[in-house]
Amino acid sequence: MSDLTIVFPLYPGVTHLDFTGPHQVMSRIPGAKIIVASAGGVDIEADGLTFTGLADLSKVEACDVLCVPGGFGTSAAMLDEAFMAHIKRLAAGAKYLTSVCTGSLILAATGLLTGKRATCHWAWKDQLKPFGVIVTEGRVVRDGNVITGGGVTAGLDFAFTMVAELAGETLAQSIQLGLEYSPAPPFNAGSPDTAPPEILAAVRGMMSGAMASRQGAAEEAARRLEVGGP
């Protein structure tokens, strides 16, 4: 797989597990070139960790796999014309368009997910609708060359799916065993369907502050697509 290039574009407010989980898994594909980039190659702070030594996104010419992570910075990223220009450029030539969590909103803002099935974090998935995306339940959803993961930890399921796609199931299972990925969470609260009602209400409350602004950003990004410009 020496000719395989995977790019993770980062932006302020990204959720680090959205890309560090898949990065850990896919970096074990023999010969794969993994590029973590930001606009201008600037350092990116994510939940108290600072990622440095990043590639300059403008100098990444092309990739086979574009994997866009999510995070609370998604709203600003969707409306950042310079950042989105690079996402659109790389997406146009990528063999696979992929995302984790709300990264699918950024990917949708390229216009390349219109009419495609895709998923997102459960709290934000309806915000894919302004882009004409067919919102679909699932930890990992595939529609042709579009492969999207659900919220945050679904990025691991997504990553093993990608390894199987890119390098075969034998390698994917070998990496899974090597990383001892055998989830057995201490609580059955990992989805809205299984979480206790009071937990679900509390989490919805914590996210409500960002809901309106992100909805507005999604609608504005979709409007820009319709008019063909900023």
Tell me, what's the pLDDT at 205?
93
Q: Is 136 helix (H, G, I), strand (E, B) or coil?
A: coil
Residue segments in the chain with a per-residue pLDDT below the cut of 50: none
Phi-psi region of 98 (alpha: psi -120 to 50; beta: other; left: phi over 0): beta
Domain count of the chain?
Answer: 1
CA dist., res. 228 & res. 4, Å (int): 32
Q: Which CATH number belongs to the domain containing residue 216 in this structure?
A: 3.40.50.880
Please name the residue that has the structure tokens 């850990």.
24
Measured in whole angstroms, the distance separating CA 2 from the mean position of its chain's CA atoms is 24
Residue 67 bears catalytic tag: no
pLDDT tens-place string over residues 109-126: 999 999 999 999 999 999
**pLDDT on residue 169:** 98
Which amino acid would we find at residue 151? G
Domain that holds residue 20: 5-227
**Residue 211 pLDDT:** 87
Residue 2 is predicted with a pLDDT of 56
Which member of 63, 67, 101, 120 is catalytic?
A: 101
Helical packing angle, 16-26 and 154-167, nearest 10°: 30
